[in-house]
Chains A and B, each alone.
Chain A
Amino acid sequence: MTSRRAFLSAGAAVGGGLLLDFSLGVAGQGARAAATQPPPNGAALNAYVRISSDGAVTIMSKNPEIGQGIKTMLPMLIAEELDVDWRDVRIEQAPFDPERYGRQFAGGSRATPINWEPLRRVGAAGRQMLLSAAAQTWGVPPAECATNSGTVVHAPTQRSLSYGSLAAKAATLPAPDLDRVPLKQPKDFKIIGKPHPGVDSPLVVAGKPLFGIDVSVPGMLHAVFVKSPVFGGTVRSANVQAIKALPGIRDAFVVRGGQVFDGLVDGVAIVATNWWTANQARNRLEVAWDEGATAAQSSEAFARRAVELSAQAPALKLYGEGNVETALAESAAVLEAAYSYPFIAHATLEPQNCTAHFRDGRVEIWAPTQNPEPGRKIVAKTLGIEESAVTIHLIRCGGGFGRRLMNDYMAEAAWISKQVGAPVKLLWNREDDIRHDFYRPAGFHFFKAGLDADGKVKAFRDHFVSFGEGDKFVNSAALSAEEFPARFVANLELGASLMPLGVPTGPLRAPRSNAVAFAFQSFIDEIAHAAGKDPLQFRIELLGARRSPSPAPAGQDPPFDAGRMIDVLAEVRKQSRWGSRQLPPRTGQGVAFYFSHLGYFAEVVQATIGSGGRITVDKVWVVGDVGSQIINPAGAENQVQGAALDGLGEALGQAITLKSGRVEQGNFDDFRPLRMPQAPPIAVHFLMTEHPPTGMGEPALPPVVPALCNAIYAATGVRIRSLPIDEKLLS
């Protein structure tokens, strides 16, 4: 039998007690295949719960922890329905084992939508088995029994039994049908909806070794890996003999790699007894590189070429309705504006690193990765071994933001360990990290819009100049055919032209949205001002009448619901007292909204611009609608505040520029994440709506960038059309 439903097995735990093992998704004969080839919506997942006879409850958290709080949040779902006291719960990081746990990754703010119901069902099934075990013990109907924080109680006779004492018996009972186990009413939640601090935070504040960079293996050596400053460059020669002769250096050798950036590329490995010695040896390293074709690429040339391309018709038509040309000709007013944003690095504070130990044809890897499954494939391919010969330990990541969805460091560490015949910890220095990233792609938007005599948008066009070949955008560059205001303006065209790019790109927190929101929500602000309307009210009118979107086909994400966006805009108007504040000169409020990762966010920024152009963000108001339930309010507020501040940092100080195929920036002096004095108070408010809960790590980021730029316009009359914001324009 094969069906798309939950599949549960239960049995005795080692040392007594109850063990629950679940696979959710395609059950039955296809379960194994399904685990390695999950459906596109990622429905295959597993969990693991152990109740020992002393009452201790152990819950495995299956996904990588990158600071999004998943190790706390996923077990809360199970613990709630299992009905145990959170203080009795011990949480362990699950090993990387997709056959058992399904897809294990941190990305796309997907953990909540994927796990919200299935993991609660896991807990509910366990609770039902314990309750049945108690009913059988007492010889009473299960319906007369109830559970209460780790005990089953029989009210008529005032008897109770602890889960621990019932665990062994429960393990002998048949597992219930997960689809039919009753779930709690939200009003009865004791864990979900209450703030729960991060389960590993006590270890963090005590400085315990938790991160990839802290991994230590007996006999371990330390490595650096020097790659071509020009992307795709190869090694012609290197003075490795001289490097090997330096004190403390154990080995140095040229590595021949391929041209796939998420894998092993050419470089020079230096291995030493400690990392500093290996890194210092780079000062003496001389490498002759064949730089290759990318040496001809630069940010300046891309910007020039984008303007040239904008004069032509878009090479690709992404979406179109009505007749934009005619509508523009008939418009009472026409606006035209060019927007651009740069490449950005992820700059996780923990630089990329990985520890690997190759021996006897197998490799063991300790990796701070968001995405181990492709990493295993890459390592197996690089070393020419089977995937089954690769063991990966999931290690807490010192930040992810999408960088660790890629696994290049894994291939490098594995290769170097194999070459030197010892366990090796590879650590990149900051310059390696900034100069060998998978960047948020730069982009150029050439907008045109027409307004009718009533100030309504009659026509809208974006010619997006981006990167790619043919009709294929580079990673994380594509513009959605549903980009707002597509389907909200009668005459609208979205087109694109692509430039070839030799630089690796990839998803950065709220990929695409973090850039596109700036361009679209800023230009929409220009239109609002040109129409002589309040920018917030203008947006509500553009969203139009509440429409009930038709439900998505099974397994697909629900479509954009304009009504939900109107509601968050109305709420942020109230929270920020939009339009009703007496603001001092050169202080302004700006608004923007954005829908991404299934979340609806509207944000207002208040900013003050000093006479020299210095920007002070006074405050940010965030209103979000992520459905019916905030699972962990402590983590949720932290994520939203962090996302909004992250966006401010991108707008205020971050650009990666390319010259002769090289990244010009290298450290935190020229690539600048936000710092404490720049971080304003952030007020966070959630609207509770009758929709399934969705994720939190990303959707609060995109709107803050245009909201800041729109606030700057309100304060100064200067329109920011290029990022990062140039304060010189504001003096």
Chain B
Amino acid sequence: MRYSIQVNGQQQRIDADPAMPLLWVLRDLLDLKGTKFGCGKSLCGACTVHLDGKPTRSCVTPVSAVGTAAVTTIEGVSATAAGRAIQAAWLAVDVVQCGYCQAGQIMSASALLRSTPRPTDADIDRAMAGNLCRCATYTRIRAAIKQAAGLPAADSRDTTQ
């Protein structure tokens, strides 16, 4: 089937099986390799993109379901203020270890920041629970989200101070 989808502000024409997940359309047909494959079942969040600004697992989103929604990937997230703030905070806090999950983390975090400009620790837990980091950089992911939001770094869950 032929589809025309909007990715990072550009209209892209592709010929794909209707069931082909958006993840593989992005990676293998459009050569946008930033979005990652981790599980294929919406369990790890490595494939997170935005559809009309909403964080979406592209590994279980068939291309036929994309329709006219605007797709934003890690390659295009810097076009949004929240995306830029998150990327900058990720570098300032030095979040990355292996880096494989970080595209998905950044997409989830930038969507959170857009919908909730001053997230609490509970908001962060909710928004980020679907994104696995196998290196477990969670401490710094939390700190980076707060830094991007202009919030103090202190972890409100820490009752031992």
Residues of A that sit less than 8 Å from B by CB: 66-69, 195, 197-198, 200-202, 204-211, 213-214, 216, 222, 248, 274-277, 279-280, 347-351, 396-401, 427, 429-430, 576-577, 581, 606, 618-619, 634-635, 638-639, 641-642, 645-646, 649, 667-669, 673-677, 679-682
Residue-by-residue, is B17-52 near A (CB-CB < 8 Å gives 1, otherwise 0)? 101110010011101111111111101101000000
Query: B97 on the interface (CB 8 Å rule)?
Result: yes
Query: B101 on the interface (CB 8 Å rule)?
Result: yes
Query: B7 on the interface (CB 8 Å rule)?
Result: no
Q: Could you jot down 26 A-B contacts, CB within 8 Å?
A: A198-B96, A201-B90, A205-B87, A207-B32, A207-B33, A207-B74, A207-B75, A211-B36, A213-B36, A275-B27, A276-B28, A398-B98, A399-B134, A400-B98, A638-B94, A641-B137, A642-B137, A646-B136, A649-B136, A667-B40, A668-B132, A673-B136, A676-B138, A679-B138, A679-B139, A681-B157
**When the two chains form their complex, are residues B137 and A638 in contact, meaning their CB atoms are under 8 A apart?**
yes
A674: B residues at CB distance < 8 A = 136, 138
Query: B66 on the interface (CB 8 Å rule)?
Result: no
Q: Is the interface of A mostly helix, strand, loop or mixed?
A: loop
B138: A residues at CB distance < 8 A = 645, 674-676, 679
B9: A residues at CB distance < 8 A = none
**How many residues in B have their beta carbons less than 8 Å from beta carbons of A?**
63
B37: A residues at CB distance < 8 A = 213, 351, 427
**When the two chains form their complex, are residues A201 and B99 in contact, meaning their CB atoms are under 8 A apart?**
yes
With contacts A274-B24, A669-B43, A680-B157 known, is A67 near B91, CB below 8 A?
A: no
Query: B129 on the interface (CB 8 Å rule)?
Result: yes
A681: B residues at CB distance < 8 A = 139, 155, 157-158
The residue on B at minimum CB distance from A198 is: B96
Query: B79 on the interface (CB 8 Å rule)?
Result: no
Give the contacting residue for B100; candidates A349, A639, A642, A676; CB below 8 A: A349
Give the contacting residue for A207; candidates B35, B128, B136, B160; CB below 8 A: B35
A429: B residues at CB distance < 8 A = 40
Residue-by-residue, is B80-109 near A (CB-CB < 8 Å gives 1, otherwise 0)? 000000010011001111111111001000
Other than A274-B29, A676-B142, A677-B125, give 12 A-B pairs with Cβ distance below 8 A: A204-B99, A206-B78, A349-B36, A351-B38, A398-B101, A399-B135, A638-B94, A638-B140, A642-B137, A645-B139, A668-B38, A676-B131
Q: Is the interface of B mostly helix, strand, loop or mixed?
A: loop
A348: B residues at CB distance < 8 A = 98, 100, 134
**Would you list which residues of chain B between 116 and 143 have a CB under 8 Å from chain A?**
124-126, 128-129, 131-142
Query: B73 on the interface (CB 8 Å rule)?
Result: yes
CA distance A174 to B143 in the complex (A): 50
**When the two chains form their complex, are residues B160 and A276 in contact, meaning their CB atoms are under 8 A apart?**
no
**Would you list which residues of chain B between 49 and 89 have a CB under 8 Å from chain A?**
73-75, 77-78, 87
**When the two chains form their complex, are residues A619 and B134 in contact, meaning their CB atoms are under 8 A apart?**
no
With contacts A645-B136, A675-B129, A677-B129 known, is A201 near B33, CB below 8 A?
A: no
Query: B10 on the interface (CB 8 Å rule)?
Result: no
With contacts A349-B98, A398-B99 known, is A676 near B90, CB below 8 A?
A: no
CA distance A396 to B33 in the complex (A): 14
In angstroms, how far is the closest chain A Cβ from the Cβ of B101? 5
CA distance A427 to B35 in the complex (A): 15
Give the contacting residue for B91; candidates A205, A210, A401; CB below 8 A: A205
B133: A residues at CB distance < 8 A = 349, 676
CA distance A214 to B100 in the complex (A): 11
With contacts A205-B102, A430-B40 known, is A676 near B141, CB below 8 A?
A: yes
**When the two chains form their complex, are residues A67 and B135 in contact, meaning their CB atoms are under 8 A apart?**
yes
Closest 10 pairs between A and B when the two form their complex, measured CB to CB = A207-B34, A67-B98, A398-B100, A207-B74, A645-B136, A204-B99, A679-B138, A67-B97, A276-B24, A668-B43
CA distance A676 to B141 in the complex (A): 9
**When the two chains form their complex, are residues B97 and A673 in contact, meaning their CB atoms are under 8 A apart?**
no
In angstroms, how far is the closest chain B Cβ from the Cβ of A188? 25
B33: A residues at CB distance < 8 A = 207, 209, 213-214, 216
CA distance A280 to B34 in the complex (A): 22
In angstroms, how far is the closest chain B Cβ from the Cβ of A71? 11
B24: A residues at CB distance < 8 A = 274-276
**When the two chains form their complex, are residues A349 and B91 in contact, meaning their CB atoms are under 8 A apart?**
no
The residue on A at minimum CB distance from B28 is: A274
**When the two chains form their complex, are residues A68 and B91 in contact, meaning their CB atoms are under 8 A apart?**
no
The residue on B at minimum CB distance from A649 is: B136
A274: B residues at CB distance < 8 A = 24, 28-29
Give the contacting residue for A350; candidates B32, B95, B100, B142; CB below 8 A: B100
CA distance A662 to B16 in the complex (A): 35
**When the two chains form their complex, are residues A66 and B132 in contact, meaning their CB atoms are under 8 A apart?**
no
In angstroms, how far is the closest chain A Cβ from the Cβ of B40? 6
In angstroms, how far is the closest chain B Cβ from the Cβ of A160? 33
CA distance A682 to B78 in the complex (A): 31
**When the two chains form their complex, are residues B129 and A676 in contact, meaning their CB atoms are under 8 A apart?**
yes
**When the two chains form their complex, are residues B132 and A669 in contact, meaning their CB atoms are under 8 A apart?**
no
**When the two chains form their complex, are residues B132 and A349 in contact, meaning their CB atoms are under 8 A apart?**
yes
B43: A residues at CB distance < 8 A = 667-669
**When the two chains form their complex, are residues A619 and B94 in contact, meaning their CB atoms are under 8 A apart?**
no
**When the two chains form their complex, are residues A397 and B98 in contact, meaning their CB atoms are under 8 A apart?**
yes
In angstroms, how far is the closest chain B Cβ from the Cβ of A173? 38
CA distance A197 to B33 in the complex (A): 23
Give the contacting residue for B90; candidates A205, A213, A581; CB below 8 A: A205
A618: B residues at CB distance < 8 A = 157-160
**When the two chains form their complex, are residues B38 and A430 in contact, meaning their CB atoms are under 8 A apart?**
yes
Give the contacting residue for B41; candidates A200, A577, A667; CB below 8 A: A667
**When the two chains form their complex, are residues A430 and B129 in contact, meaning their CB atoms are under 8 A apart?**
no
In angstroms, how far is the closest chain A Cβ from the Cβ of B141? 7
CA distance A276 to B17 in the complex (A): 10
CA distance A639 to B74 in the complex (A): 25
Interface centre among A66, A68, A274 (most CB of B within 10 A): A274
In angstroms, how far is the closest chain B Cβ from the Cβ of A124? 28
**When the two chains form their complex, are residues B39 and A201 in contact, meaning their CB atoms are under 8 A apart?**
no
A668: B residues at CB distance < 8 A = 38-39, 41, 43-44, 132
The residue on B at minimum CB distance from A68 is: B97
A581: B residues at CB distance < 8 A = 160
The residue on A at minimum CB distance from B107 is: A207
